[in-house]
Amino acid sequence: MIVNAFLISSPLILTLEIGKKELISYYTSTLQAEEDILRQKSRIQWLKAGDRNSSYFFKAINGRRNRCKIHSITGVDGSLIEGDILVKNEAIRHFQNILGCSMPVRHGIGTLSNIIDNVISNDHADSMDRDVTNDEIREVCFSLHPNKAPGPDGFNAHFFKITWDIVSEDVINANQEFFRSGYLLKELNTTILVLVPKIPNPFTMKDFRPISFCNTLYKIIAKIIANRIEPCLPDIISPSQSTFVAGRSIGDNILLVQELMRNYHKDIGCPRLALKVDLMKAFDMVDWGLLLETLAAFHFPPKIITWIKACLTTPKFSISINSELAGFFSRKRGLWQGDPLSPCLFVIAMEVLSKILTKQIADSPSFKYHWKCDKIKLPHLYFADDLIMLCHGSPSSALVHKAALDEFSLLSGLLANQAKSNIFTSGLSSTTNQHLINLFGYTVSSLPIHYLCIPIISTKLCL
């Protein structure tokens, strides 16, 4: 208003006109910065353009905070825990108990070299072992999603992209120092655990899934390592695993399971057994020792194993509870959802189960495949940790699956959740049927069921 008044009284003063334009530009950029901050806090990704959305974002932020706020929680003893401080303490206790406990001494891990019969090629090993270039660091940084939630440092990938001319030297030097030395500063790998409800009205800490918000500098390191691992996965990961491997699709598993499970509602035909196995907190409880031994058994270069070990062992975590951080603790096992490296490492760890099962079948002449799987020798399918196991309905065949699961549990720390796992049988006598139910202890189920969020029905699919 003051500038406008001066312009009216003295319209020929050029400096006033320039000053007005500068103030308008500053005001506009400030409004845009405010809107950007609010948009990031609201986690609205789809809004592209329009009028000022500050009011809408404020409402989205408040609505999201109200939905995510944990007012009370049920403790392990069934008591009601209320108040921010007590809820935070319960969250720290729960997740530190899961993530901060290392595996006991494992027996039989030396057998990995005996059951892994395919290793990465020399070309892939050389590709992983090559020096990291400055262009590679820049390319990975610019490939990150610009507006994903930042880690504890508060900087998302968008910040590094728009300030690259200023920060590029520091970013490149920090990354190159890690790849030269294999040493990762713990301060660089601090992580926020955000609790996402698994169900509409969670009432215990078990009903929350921890998602990791990592620092962008760490994401660049992890993505570079992941990019070097991914090309070799089709050669070492069994065809039965359809996730996180190039050229494989979730649809393959869905169609196969639909065909293999068809007519399970009829108690006729060849005796057959199907298991839908739910692994308890699979990402959170993978044993690091098994993972590193598996990488060595697949002949991954020592340099990349050193990098991966540093990424696994250095982070410290704080839990975001009601928009505040609580706790600061290390973890001694598991992978974290939100880390670019975790998907690759998880499918490699799960491949151990495939190798164990293949060896168990080879050592068991009495094992019989599911009648539709006999020609292709397919005993199981999995999409990450969603596991389907199939075989003939004979007890001797079922015992092979049970032995493989038990051995895998001893090595990896991953246990089947009996309450959430399902058993399906068809064409069996009542005595055999009950024997298999008792053997596994899983919930008896029938079609239709949901597999990978798609209903599996008892009849043939039709267009």
- Helix (H) or strand (E) run with residue 304 in it: helix 302-313
Matching residue, tokens 């190039």 = 246
**Which whole-number Å values give the CA distances from 70 to 31, 42, 59, 74, in the listed order?**
32, 18, 19, 11
Q: Mean pLDDT, the chain, as a whole number?
A: 86
Residue 49: pLDDT band by 50, 70, 90 thresholds?
A: very low
- pLDDT, tens digit (0-9, with 9 covering 90-100), for 322-357: 889 999 999 889 998 889 999 999 999 999 999 999
Residues 6+ apart with CB under 8 A from 412: 286, 287, 290, 349, 352, 353
AA letter at 190? T
> Which 8-state DSSP code applies to residue 241?
B
329 within 8 A of 362, measured Cβ to Cβ: no
Dist. CA 262–CA 448, nearest whole Å: 10
**Alpha-carbon distance 416 to 194, whole Å?**
25
Asked whether the predicted pLDDT for residue 118 surpasses 50, the reply is: yes
Summarize the confidence of residues 397-408 as an average pLDDT.
95
Q: How far apart are CA 394 and CA 375, in angstroms?
A: 18
- Count the Cβ atoms, other than its own, within 10 Å of residue 84: 14
Q: What is the pTM of this model?
A: 0.84
pLDDT(306) > 90: yes
**Is 70 exceeded by the pLDDT of residue 320?**
yes
Is it the case that residue 310 has pLDDT exceeding 90? Answer: yes
pLDDT of residue 6: 54
Indicate if the pLDDT at residue 45 is higher than 90.
no
- State how far the Cα of 399 lies from the Cα of 366, in Å rounded to an integer: 10
pLDDT of residue 178: 96
Beta strands 316-321; 190-197: pairing state: parallel
Pairing mode, if any, of strands 422-426 and 443-444? parallel
